[in-house]
Structure 1
Amino acid sequence: MTNYPGMCLVFCFAIFGLGSAIRCFKCNDYTGSCTNTQDCSNDDACLKLTETGGQTTRQCIKYSDCDFNRLAQMFPSVPKFTFDCCTRDLCNGATSIGTGKPLLGLLASLAVMWWCMQ
């Protein structure tokens, strides 16, 4: 006998990509035209740290380090900055445009779960 609930769970995890690493932009620039990327670890986020003078640093960072005080220690030469940490592929670019992939994954998972319950 086939294990439909188990197959459904495996399929849903595949859609959401649970536990997969992300890619982030990696550069220091003033223009926002960064094209270099890097593969991050599983527990990383993408950082976009903007200095008051306008230079922006983009890189992978441990998600647990996405805190103002921790970043101030990591970037001691930057007196004032704003930052954003995110956990989607290439989300630390010049503009953050939603791709709709999380919604698509959710809808696909719901459809599969509905199909498995039939």
Structure 2
Amino acid sequence: EDDMKLLLLLICFGMLHVGSGLRCYKCQDYTGRCQDVAECTNEDACISLSEKGGKTIRQCIRYTDCDNSRLSLMFPSISSFTYRCCSSNLCNSGTASTTVKPLLALVGSLLSLWWGWM
């Protein structure tokens, strides 16, 4: 039974890439041609946040901060924006739209916690 648990865990880790830190584009620009890459932690997602008629901010962000009200507090100078949080390497390169994958984030967090207890 323990072997089966381990196998299942390894399969999940393989799909979620939880073992290694996430990599996200990191920049603030007006063109969308972002080259800089940041190493994030396992609790992070990538965000692409676009100011209406302005610049786009790309960076690592905590999964729990991928929320309209939290982002408004984090970026008080930006009154109107769209955003997209995602959880695969360099996934924040494209245009922003409001999509969040909280289930994937939750599963990844729970697996990393469970792994820590074993």
What TM-score, normalized to structure 2? 0.69
The structure number with the bigger radius of gyration is 1
Q: Which residue of 2 aligns with 1:82?
A: 82
User: Unmatched 5+ residue regions in structure 1?
Assistant: 97-118
Check 1:6–1:80 CA distance in 2 against 1; reply closer, same or farther (3 A cut). Answer: closer
Q: Note the C-alpha offset of 1:73.
A: 0.6
Q: Note the C-alpha offset of 1:86.
A: 0.5
Check 1:20–1:52 CA distance in 2 against 1; reply closer, same or farther (3 A cut). Answer: same
Asked if the contact 1:25–1:37 (Cα under 8 Å) also holds between the matched residues in 2, the reply is yes
Q: Which residue of 2 aligns with 1:22?
A: 22
Question: Residues 23-56 of structure 1, C-alpha deviation per residue, up to 9 Å, x if partnerless?
Answer: 0000000111101000001100001000012310
Q: Which amino acid aligns with 1:15?
A: G
Q: Which has the higher contact order (CA 8 A, sep 6+)?
A: 1
Aligned residue pairs total 94
User: Unmatched 5+ residue regions in structure 2?
Assistant: 97-118
Check 1:77–1:95 CA distance in 2 against 1; reply closer, same or farther (3 A cut). Answer: closer
Return structure 1 stretches of 4+ with deviation > 4 angstroms. none
Q: How do 1:38-53 residues align onto structure 2 when only pairs under 5 Å count? A: 38-53=38-53
SS at match of 2:31: coil
What TM-score, normalized to structure 1? 0.69
Question: How much is the aligned-residue C-alpha RMSD, in angstroms?
Answer: 2.2
Give yes or no for the alignment of 1:8 onto 2:7: yes
Cα distance in 2, alignment partners of residues 75 and 65 from structure 1:
12
